[in-house]
Amino acid sequence: MEKRRRSFEKTKMDKEIIFLVEESLDGGYEARALGHSIYTEAGTFEELKQAVRDAVRCHFDEAHRPHIIRLHQVKEEILSL
């Protein structure tokens, strides 16, 4: 059972890629893939989504390309007391 679960999880991971998205200090957005050496940036969030799609297409062969791209947006805020 455990072996089958690991096989399912690996198959699921092969079908999706996760990007960590942060606001750039220079303005705009930056995206880094988790587990892959893919990085891209853009001025707007809409432009970033297209840049991420393009980067994934360039990085993977069609046969190994993930079907799902997940964007995990992180926003850091500092609060004072």
pLDDT one-digit tens code per residue, 21-76: 999 999 999 999 999 999 999 999 999 999 999 999 999 999 999 999 999 999 88
- Examine residue 79 and state whether it is found in any structural domain, yes or no: no
pLDDT at 59: 97
pLDDT at 77: 86
φ/ψ of residue 33, rounded to 5: -80, 140
- Quick one: pLDDT band at residue 12, thresholds 50, 70, 90? low
How many structural domains is the chain composed of?
1
- pTM score, two decimals? 0.77
DSSP state of 40: E
Does residue 62 contact residue 50 with C-beta atoms inside 8 Å? no
Structural domain of 59: 2-74
- Examine residue 81 and state whether it is found in any structural domain, yes or no: no
- Examine residue 80 and state whether it is found in any structural domain, yes or no: no
- Examine residue 51 and state whether it is found in any structural domain, yes or no: yes
